[in-house]
Chain A
């Protein structure tokens, strides 16, 4: 309204401004209208569920809807819950092992492939291909791949002389984790590899030429030029992998079923079992919030790290 009166009674200057300010108003109505559809989805399926879930975590809440407010009891019980603590430990161990492994191996593959012109497409396809398969497919492939007597993996290991008796990959708690990690590396490394490869291809040729003039060795070039140039990508990869590792569920559910004897159960496994098998919604919500807290902390660390390495 204010802009309208101004333009009506105004000088030529105000008249010239008039279409602009009405455009601006028309503009921000359009702006709001364009954000609105997404915002509705966000409210209904993201914000409200989060708040609702937080509320549920303070209740003893059964599936049928009998609920009693118990305050922080669920969180208190969580600290005492041996199984949850074990699952949390499994998840942390998996993360600590798999993140450096996937990051390091992904970087290695990217460096190898970056130095090859002929046949690069074939290599890229080979390393990335497993990533497009679903967790169900890769899990089943690995379960069959790892079978004693009939699986190909033991046959290969035996063929190249690494083992001389059958290995029961999925029946031993450590080997079960090794299996899950191998399958996860195989499945997801393509993503990391592609990010690193893109990072490598962004490094200006002149950096290497300068290093060549200085007579730097291959290792020095990598250590002082390649690796520092990849710091942003590396931080990104480590954080994305850490978050993904913390959320691991599909592989453990489908490859080992959480076994043997619960040795490969994870935090999300705890949410799944407490929420949808014993139907303790409140307790499962509390676990979900602990998971969220951990992931929030990792994300905040990322922001800080990126700011440091950023420019």
Chain B
């Protein structure tokens, strides 16, 4: 008996949970499309984009998203470049001290970013970078996780490929970008996704570094805009929707790769 209904129980439970998870997002979209005084449940569904117009007029949402995009893209590109170079070196070229250096980087993975907030603030202020978008990018590149993930991946690549290339006279550098980079696309994609999401969502450090409205990321600008609305929810919710929709669209397009990427990084993180 239990065996027969089990598959149905599983299905019903899963769908119920999925609906529960979707409710806040659907509600966000619904509220943002409902004109000011109206209520979603009374007044029928008369949808409008008025809230979107109002929010876009009152807050530089696109500017903030542009800042977020710029910071996240540059961070991601630099992490991929620097980490893949270093990881390749650690995986294939042994130079004196390379092991020690790798272990040093590895142990730095245990250091939480929150521990460097104060010194970063003082140092950035001393060199005049505090409050700039550059100040958001630089520390994000110093994280060693990428090296670790990519070295693991490179270690698993067969050696004969590069032997052949070396016979043809290719140097290490050439082997790195001609053979290793193309072969490690899934690993690079995973790391890229991870880095991008992390940079896009970073909150504490931008909160401390950035004070000029023009340089804020969306993660920082959004709460600032919303804090001026107290008993009114349509506009703050619309701002949420504006910030969320591009991310959700990108997610829906690449969901397979993103989810695979997360599983991949998680699996390799050990």
Cβ of A42: which chain B residues have Cβ within 8 Å of it? 105, 108, 142, 144
Cβ of B83: which chain A residues have Cβ within 8 Å of it? 38
Cβ of B153: which chain A residues have Cβ within 8 Å of it? none
With A281-B122, A296-B110 as given contacts, are A34 and B89 in contact (CB-CB < 8 Å)?
A: yes
Residues of A within 8 A of B (CB): 23, 26-32, 34-35, 37-39, 41-42, 44-50, 52-53, 56, 109, 112-113, 115-116, 121-137, 139-142, 144-145, 147, 150, 152, 156, 186, 191, 194-195, 197-199, 218, 232-233, 236, 240, 243, 246-247, 249-250, 254, 268, 271-272, 275-276, 281, 284-285, 288-289, 291-292, 295-296, 299-300, 306
B28 at the interface (CB under 8 A from A): yes
Choice from A127, A254, A281 contacting B18 with Cβ under 8 Å: A127
Cβ of B81: which chain A residues have Cβ within 8 Å of it? 37
Q: B123 and A236: CB pair below 8 A?
A: no
Cβ of A39: which chain B residues have Cβ within 8 Å of it? 86, 101
How near does chain A come to B54, taking the closest CB pair, in angstroms? 16
Cβ of B11: which chain A residues have Cβ within 8 Å of it? 116
Choice from A23, A28, A133, A137 contacting B96 with Cβ under 8 Å: A28
Q: B233 and A299: CB pair below 8 A?
A: no
Q: B142 and A289: CB pair below 8 A?
A: no
Cβ of B144: which chain A residues have Cβ within 8 Å of it? 42, 46
Q: B82 and A37: CB pair below 8 A?
A: yes
Residues of B within 8 A of A (CB): 3, 6-7, 10-11, 13-15, 17-19, 21-25, 27-28, 31, 81-83, 85-86, 88-90, 93-96, 98, 101, 105, 108-112, 114-123, 138-139, 141-144, 147, 166, 171-173, 176, 197, 200-201, 203-204, 207-208, 218-220, 222-223, 226, 233, 236-237, 239-240, 243-244, 247-248, 250-252, 255, 258-259, 262-264, 266-267, 269-270
Q: How many pairs of A and B residues are in contact by the CB < 8 Å rule?
A: 275
